[in-house]
Structure 1
């Protein structure tokens, strides 16, 4: 049962990381300025990007997006690796159930950040945007890469708390922490690439972004509670019973 519990926690954590990446991109801090970022890195006006795109424009858009995401990925994954090493060091430093201790700390942090992301509490210092500035003088793929690293290094009101939760999750499970970070990056990159070619249809997502954040905040709170209380073994047992029909036979 211990191996199954670990596997289930890993799968849940990976799904949370994937969803957290998508939530970061769809947040009110990122999505509304997404067209401006694309225009900035490609040198193409927002109006042109939203209009009919020829093959040359689409090729430039895709290539610049990939270089931008490469810069973002470098920063995020580096932080994930650092969090994994830190978690491993703490587990070696502390005796006993240090992994459980870090897991509970991560649970508390994720609950608080979930309340913040959902808009139910305010944390003033997280509302201050800190971004590494990079002045892009001309359009180049290398410049786009550095704009991506500058974007990822920024601490915005939406990305910071969400990604911070994933970093703590990585620290609580150092052996799999890198996978959490990679899935976070994939979750961020997929909607970025998809919406790059459908800029004219992003308005309705922007209008619904507050609701998306609220749902994401609730999911974070639930996951935080599960991590803090150690309910994963019971949830795993329930799911296994549900799959093999034992739970239904008990009801009968």
Structure 2
């Protein structure tokens, strides 16, 4: 695995975290927990009983299984598509696709940061259930419905991950898995600390601007072909620091 792939994997993880902390997800996070457990938000915040917390955690895990099945499935599909396209085209297609991916990610970064308004991306589309299907299996379906929709925050970020996956098919599935892990970790942590969501929501817009800026930088690096050079530089710096500490 190249240094550039290593860096992209960590960026995919960060993209998952950014998706969860976005204004489209974090503010409604307690409501989703309430919906999948059948308990009120007040009960979830105030009840510290171990059985209730265990139930909450199990439902969260099944919800994330539903989310990951859609995200990872799309990642696998896009990776095969990217591999097929590269196989059909001749010449230096890798660089061409990389540059297209770079332009797309720059545009998505501008949108995520709020510096570019694309009206078609502002529309929210989600699968809605009038009533939650019963049991843990129903929670999986709710998670799949959440992932299969489009929101102005998550959609552009995950679309960028899919474009990167298509441009590097051999690592595409890994990128989507890391994205899912990045989304799942804060989800599980905040399941136990619902009271902290209000504090984080206050900074969600600033978090999105910072995340959008990182996406723009990544897009520029992809377009100019500098991702590998930057990655090698960072890897060398870490190795030098590590060996100097050992010495």
RMSD: 1.5
* 8 Å Cα contact 2:133-2:139 kept in structure 1: no
Matches within 5 A, 1:150-169: 150-169=145-164
Q: Which residue of 1 aligns with 2:183?
A: 188
Q: Does 1:221 align with 2:216?
A: yes
Contact kept in structure 1, 2:132 and 2:139, CA below 8 Å? no
Report the count of equivalent residues: 240
Displacement over 3 Å in runs of 4+: 236-245
**Are 1:74 and 2:69 an aligned pair?**
yes
Say if 1:244 and 1:55 are closer, same or farther in 2 by CA, change over 3 A: closer
Q: Tell me the residue number matched to 1:49.
A: 44
Shift of 1:233: 3.9
Q: TM-score, normalised by structure 2?
A: 0.93
Once residues 121 and 71 of structure 2 are traced to their aligned partners in structure 1, the CA distance between those partners, rounded to angstroms, is 18
1:100 CA drift (Å): 1.3
| Aligned counterpart for 2:143 among listed residues 141, 144, 148 | 148
CA shift in 2, pair 1:46/1:98, >3 Å: same
CA offset at residue 243 of structure 1? Answer: 6.1
Gaps of 5+ in 2: 241-247
Question: Is the Cα–Cα contact under 8 Å of residues 69 and 148 in structure 1 kept in the other structure?
Answer: yes
Asked if 1 retains the 8 angstrom alpha-carbon contact of 2:102 and 2:221, the reply is: yes
- Give TM-score, length-normalised by structure 1: 0.91
Cα distance change, pair 233–191 in 1 and its aligned pair in 2 (3 A): closer
Q: Counterparts of 1:64 and 1:168 in 2: how far apart (Å)?
A: 31
Which residue of structure 1 aligns with residue 24 of structure 2?
A: 29
Query: How far 1:49 sits from its partner (Å)?
Result: 0.7
